[in-house]
Amino acid sequence: MDARVQDFSGRGLREKDPVRAYRVRGTPTFPFVGPDGHEMMRFSGATRDAAEFMRPGRDVVEGQWRSGGFEQVAAP
């Protein structure tokens, strides 16, 4: 099945088009896309709890993603 979805600008496209564009290989995958349309950071995989799920978004908002991505930011 190839469902129709909308991109961030409201343009209709096939479901598999953004999957290919953002190189999603598995789920869940959360690409964080800036206003310019470029991916800033991505988080892939399951989370243990709500706090871990919220952390990548907070890191993007606070600008910590610039230091090299969530994996480096989250490392102890």
Per-residue pLDDT of 17-64, as tens digits, reads 888 888 888 888 888 888 888 888 888 888 899 998 898 888 888 887
* Residue 21, C-beta contacts closer than 8 angstroms, at least 6 positions apart: none
pLDDT confidence of residue 1: 67
pLDDT confidence of residue 76: 40
Structural domain of 40 = 4-74
What sections of 1-76 are H helices per DSSP?
A: 16-21, 50-61, 70-74
Position 73 pLDDT exceeds 70: no
Chain length of the chain: 76
Domain total in the chain: 1
pLDDT confidence of residue 60: 85
Three-class DSSP category at 47 = coil
Say what the pTM is.
0.61
* Residue 37, C-beta contacts closer than 8 angstroms, at least 6 positions apart: 8
The closest alpha carbon to 69, from 44, 36, 35, 37, belongs to 44
